[in-house]
Amino acid sequence: MNLPIQSLCADMIKEALPQIQAKLEPLGVKFINVVHDELVFECKEEQVEEVCTFVKTTMEKVGSKYLKHIPCVVDVKSSDYWQK
């Protein structure tokens, strides 16, 4: 039952990731990993807000192409985990 949802998330990530990397890579933001439906990036502390906003906006835009009648809401979280 979950296969269509998981497949859709994978398609959305495959479409959004090149757009995200094209914008963020020149800024020095590193793409670290993808875990199921999560993207993990590493950036400078002063870039966090810009990166979070861009990733959220891009993912929601791509998601709205696939989910015509359902809102696509993306949650973005940041952490200073690596500094600890």
Ranges of each domain in the chain: 3-74
Beta bridge partners of 38: 35
pLDDT band at 5 (very low <50, low <70, confident <90, very high): low
| Per-residue pLDDT tens digits for 58-76 | 999 999 998 888 888 999 9
| Per-residue pLDDT tens digits for 23-48 | 999 999 999 998 877 899 999 999 99
Secondary-structure class of domain 3-74 per CATH: alpha beta
- Residue 8 pLDDT > 90: no
Looking at residue 25, what DSSP letter applies? G
Mean pLDDT of 79-83: 72
Q: In a 10 Å sphere around its CB, with 0-12 CB exposed, 13-18 middle and 19+ buried, how is residue 80 labelled?
A: exposed
Q: Please give the model's pTM, rounded to 2 decimal places.
A: 0.85
pLDDT of residue 67: 86
3-state class (DSSP) for residue 82: helix
Which has the closest alpha carbon to 55: 9, 17, 82? 17
